[in-house]
Amino acid sequence: MRRFDTILWDVDQTLLDFKKSEDYAVRFCFRKFGKEAADETVALYSAINESFWKRIEKGEIRKKEALVGRFRQLLEKIGEEDIDAEMFQKEYAQALGSVYYYQDNSYELVKRLKEEGEYRQYLVTNGVSLTQRNKLHLSGFDKLVEGIFISEEIGMPKPYKEYFEKSFSMIPGFCKERAIIVGDSLSSDMKGGNNAGIATCWYNPSGLTNTSGVKVDYEIKNLNEIWEIVQK
């Protein structure tokens, strides 16, 4: 018997390289508004975006407010306040969902796990619904997994226990002891797994040190290492 038969995959910066998509979308949007985004602008946005998502995870700010707020802050910092932040956000959401980049040949990994017939795979993501649905359809992941749980549709983000409880309720015959979450975020994926009472696998290709205090059961640098974990 396999150690785990239900795998919950994070999407951004786990199965898909979010940073590459983010870089593309930011530059694309600035060009739409007749501007060119410097590398420093892209890096600044990335930092601002991450800080806003951390606040969402902590319940300090609502997602709707954050989505526009991050661009309002960026445009203010670079002196481009003549650009409408709400319009920029709409263009960005569409652009971000129009491209995808696999990490560690993730598509073939998920496909092979599906073909094994012994694993059920689900996607768990805090991303914007429209963006994620488009991206997962284009990448083909929507055809390989059993279900997709997007926080915007669930009504609560990772790492909240309620997000996972509602997701689990939609998985037939779900068993916590045989489920594992795989993701890159300690504060969202790993903490979420802790809150939900399931095993955690931290995808850490950069070899970062865990100083968060969040419990991690397994750690991998390449997604394909999951084989050894689930087959034990």
- Collapse the DSSP code of 8 into the 3-class scheme (helix H, G, I; strand E, B; otherwise coil) and give the result: strand
> Is 5 among the residues known to form the active site?
no
How is residue 140 written in tokens?
């083909």
The whole-angstrom separation of Cα 195 and Cα 190 is 9
The Cα-based distances of 13 to 66, 80, 81, 141 in angstroms read 20, 29, 30, 15
CB count, 10 Å around CB of 52? 20
Specify the 3-state DSSP secondary structure of 46.
helix
Q: Which of 10, 12, 184, 189 is catalytic?
A: 10
* Residue found by looking up tokens 């590459």 in the block: 20
Query: Which residues are marked as active site?
Result: 10
